[in-house]
Amino acid sequence: MIARIWHGRVPTGKAEAYRAFLIARAIPDYRSVVGNRSVRVLQRAEGEVTHFITLTLWDDLASIQGFAGADVEQARYYPEDKDYLLEFEPRVVHYEDVGSAP
């Protein structure tokens, strides 16, 4: 299994609206892709900026390609992101999931 991690920053005043967007639009989109095992959205306010981490788990790189395209490390954005994000980080990171505990 592979973890895909994306990071974005929004003005704290827009954080609640961005969280609602992620829940309504992004999470269902991730979940609709064959091979997606789970989606977690993490949020942390830091003064005037709020950080969002999207952590998704995938069966394999082929599954991630079904979501992201051939360049699996390229970040994928939605048109609505322009209304919230302070910048568009170009890359995501992947980690191999080597174990877990209940």
Mind listing the pLDDT tens digit of every residue in the chain (102 residues)? 999 999 999 999 999 999 999 999 999 999 999 999 999 999 999 999 999 999 999 999 999 999 999 999 999 999 999 999 999 999 999 999 998 887
Q: What's the topology of domain 2-96?
A: Alpha-Beta Plaits (3.30.70)
Q: What is the DSSP string of 43-94?
A: EEEETTEEEEEEEEEESSHHHHHHHH-S-TTB----GGGGGT-S----B-EE
Measured between its terminal Cα atoms, the distance across the chain in Å is 17
